[in-house]
Amino acid sequence: MRIDISERLKPFSHKSGTYFLLPGTTIRTQIFPAFLRFHDLSRSEPQLIAEVPLKVQGPVEKFTVQQDLEHGEIVVWGQTQNGFFRYLISATRGFVIEKSPENTFFLAELPSFEKLILAPTERLSLGSHKKQEWQLMERRCDLAEILPIWFRLGQWTPKVEKTNEGTAFLLNQIHNATHAEKASTLLHTLFLVGMDCGLSPRLEDTTFQGVDIPSINGGSPLQLLREGSECIRDLFLQSEDAQINVLPLLPLAFHAGRMINAQCGSLGIVHFEWSKKVIRRLIFTAGQTTSVQFSFSGKLRQCRVRSSSAGDSVLQLGQLLNVMQGQTYYLDRFEK
């Protein structure tokens, strides 16, 4: 038994000037066909750190900016009057021209970007396979499309000091939500009031959604991505001490999905999938020899447990499962 997510998260935009965070850093990019702008988001107000002109013979057709959340890069391509170009911006590789007409780019020295975060491993899929074009996603405003991207981008985002000011005040409400639909509604509200197209976070509601927002005296909008990612994770998986709670706050809209490589502290790593709002399969690799209690949403009574060392057995849900470090356990055939 194996659980995979084939979908690759590489949201993009054809609109000139769309904001995209450079994964692994505190830097927001704003890319035009012939101009680059960089802001540092580590403070409450974006700090302009560089503006870089490009020598491009325009107008540019098929202009595309892609935020590659698999490799942690910003990739840009388009068609100039002299031919096709493609380049990328990376915290580790800098500015790399992969394809360009001769003498097209004249680039002043870019600022250095410190990579603060390693590539994330946890992945979430909520069953959406639509085109990841931000202008279309913003129009649809479907959290099944947005949350997997938000979840992964948040893992790419450095931790910052927490604040309850501005739009960040909604994070506490999400953390404290005890009902799945309430948590989902609050995440939707936070997306509307705290995110520009491309999931560029902001503490001020510049779209004037009519939500009462506290005044801003400090903090960083990056908290919306990092802590927001943690809030998204809590909908699908929570772990504490020896207990792993699967799908504790599952909204009705997310009736099917998968999560893989979910870290449960020292207990181990979990992969699982669900459909029709019910857990179907779970794979657990123990990080230590201990006893683990699995908890699942719904009125499930028992399931089958398999492992290479112990064979098949029936686990009465609510009972402790004795696990050995490094051993993988397969749970399926969940019954009410």
Token code pair at residue 168:
């960040």
DSSP codes of every residue in 54-90:
----S--EEEEEEEETTTTEEEEEEEETTEEEEEEEE
Distances (CA, A) of 96 to 58, 73, 100, 105, 111: 21, 11, 11, 11, 14
Measured in whole angstroms, how far is the alpha carbon of residue 139 from the centre of its chain? Answer: 19
H or E, element range at 73: strand 73-80
What are the beta bridge partners of residue 47?
40
- Contact indicator for 122, 261 with CB cutoff of 8 Å: yes
Which of 35, 33, 36, 31 is CA-nearest to residue 81?
33
Q: Report d(CA 221, CA 44) in Å as an integer.
A: 6
123: left (phi over 0), alpha (psi -120 to 50) or beta: beta
Q: Please count the other Cβ atoms lying within 10 Å of the Cβ belonging to residue 99.
A: 11
Write the pLDDT tens digit of every residue in 314-329: 989 889 999 999 999 9
The pLDDT value recorded for residue 311 is 74
Q: What is the CATH number of domain 241-335?
A: 2.60.40.1180
pLDDT in tens, 103-122: 666 665 677 777 777 788 99
* DSSP-assigned beta bridge partners for residue 38: 29, 50
- Give this prediction's pTM: 0.93
Q: Which of 69-73, 78-82, 233-237, 307-311 has the lowest mean pLDDT?
A: 307-311
- Residue extents of the structural domains in the chain: 12-99, 123-234, 241-335
DSSP state of 148: H
